[in-house]
Amino acid sequence: MLTPVRPQAPFRAAGLVVVAAILFGTTGTAQALGPDGVSPLVVGAGRVVLGGLILAVVAAFAGQLRDGTSWRWPVVVAAGGAVAVYQVGFFAGVDRAGVAVGTIVTIGSAPAFTGLLGWLAGQGRPSRAWAVATVLAVAGGGLLAGSGAGELSADPLGIALALLAGAAYAVYTVAAKRLLEDGHRPVGVMGASFGLGGLFLAPVLVVLGPAALRAGPSIVLVVVYLAVVPTAVAYVLFARGLDRLPASTVATLTLAEPVVAATLGVLVLAEPVSAARVAGAALVLAGLVVLAVRPGR
């Protein structure tokens, strides 16, 4: 059972999720600073394999994999499978539909899928505040994703794969929430789900990894950073917030990620500042303010 929530606990939990989203937002810049010609799928697989191993080892040493509560293995498998499917669906969708469309479809569909799936799973009906915040944040995310795009692609398979990624994110979030509600601790839930997700993606790394290593040692540094910071550290913070908040709220709070990604694009990658970027960031931040005022159900 969940620990009784103190009045300020939802605000602290929301802060943890936003910090996790900030770390998630460094992913694109880290990849851009890596060597050219490396498949993003290899980077994504390496991130989850190494990050999952780190989380599993930390969870084991912390005693959170054997915590006295029986694991619902179908839920654990669903979480681990969703972690793997998200990586494949997102990177393949972006490859076919383009970065702008793939990102818009994924980040726009994930909160909606999460709210619906969480409701169907008995985790509570999403609130009006969530609906308002999600509309604002998704609209802002769309502006941010599309502001640097050239010609937009409407490849049907690419869009379908991006939707698959959004749905997989929802499955993972709702499954992790169920495991937390069962009484498992956040690090244990992340270790179990990402450890299993890493096993699912290990064949991708075995097949495609050797060719990626020929790009130079910098690819290893990129994968290590992605595995440690926006995976192991970020998802522990994500889980701690998810332990206190509805899955639908958490999914919307993570839409702070494109604001961070766009800001780093301007500051680090020298991408141009545009009115669309500023408006998009303002809309996302407005959505986060709505959830900061009413973060619970």
Q: 226-270, pLDDT tens digit by residue?
A: 999 999 999 999 999 999 998 888 888 888 887 787 788 778 877
Contact 144, 280 (CB under 8 A): yes
Residues in the chain: 297
Contact by Cβ (8 Å): 257, 237: no
Backbone CA torsion sign across 35, 163, 171, 297: positive
Q: Which two tokens stand for residue 34?
A: 């890596």
Q: What is the pLDDT of residues 127-177, one digit of tens each?
A: 777 778 778 877 877 777 666 554 444 578 887 888 898 899 999 999 999
Between CA 170 and CA 182 the distance in angstroms is: 18
Percent of the chain residues topping a pLDDT of 90: 38
Residue in the block written with tokens 């192991």: 232
The confidence score (pLDDT) of residue 286 equals 81
- Predicted pLDDT of residue 15: 92
Residues 21-72 have pLDDT tens digits of 999 888 878 877 888 878 888 888 999 999 999 999 999 999 999 888 899 9
296 or 15: which carries more pLDDT confidence? 15
pLDDT, position 293: 62
Report the phi/psi class of residue 273: left, alpha or beta, with left for phi > 0 and alpha for psi in -120 to 50.
beta
- Based on the number of CB atoms within 10 Å of its own CB, is 292 exposed (0-12), middle (13-18) or buried (19 or more)? middle
C-alpha 238 chain-centroid distance: 9
Question: H/E/C letters for each residue in 147-179?
Answer: CCCCCCCCCHHHHHHHHHHHHHHHHHHHHHHHH
293 vs 10: CA distance, rounded Å: 10
- Is pLDDT above 90 for 203? yes
- Cα 245 from Cα 236, distance rounded (Å): 14
Query: Taking the model in full, what pTM does it have?
Result: 0.82
Highest mean pLDDT range out of 1-5, 150-154, 210-214, 227-231? 227-231
Burial class of residue 267 in the structure, from the number of CB atoms within 10 Å of its CB (0-12 exposed, 13-18 middle, 19+ buried): exposed
Average pLDDT over every residue of 198-202: 95
Backbone phi, psi, residue 222, to 5°: -65, -45
